[in-house]
Amino acid sequence: METAYTFTVAENNQIIFTKDEEPQFTTLEELEMAIAESFPESYVDPEKYAKRLKHLCLAEYSNKYKEVLKS
């Protein structure tokens, strides 16, 4: 997570930095959060979560492969 700042220049040419209220997430962090939210049991067992994620990827690959074969 990145911290974002807004800056303003005061009358005496002094620069004032103000920390933004909303957190700024990188694209990777947003992807990680989306994946974690898509699995209700993602917080339970890391091994089970990893296996499910692996099988999900394999199933998607298999589906795309079958679509290509049908074309």
Q: What is the pLDDT of residues 2-44, one digit of tens each?
A: 667 777 888 888 888 887 777 777 888 888 778 777 766 656 6
25 & 46 share domain:
no
29 & 48 share domain:
no
* 33, two tokens: 């959060």
54 & 30 share domain:
no
33 & 50 share domain:
no
Q: For residue range 36-69, what is the model confidence (pLDDT) as tens digits?
A: 777 666 566 777 777 777 788 888 888 899 989 8
33 & 49 share domain:
no
Asked if residues 49 and 39 have their Cβ atoms less than 8 Å apart, the reply is yes
66 & 46 share domain:
yes
DSSP-derived secondary structure for 2-64: B--EEEEE-TTS-EEEEE-SS-B--HHHHHHHHHHHH-TTTTT-HHHHHHHHHHHHHHHHHHH
Among residues 39, 1, 41, the alpha carbon closest in space to that of 20 is found at: 1
Range of the domain at 11: 1-38
5 & 32 share domain:
yes
The total number of structural domains that make up the chain: 2
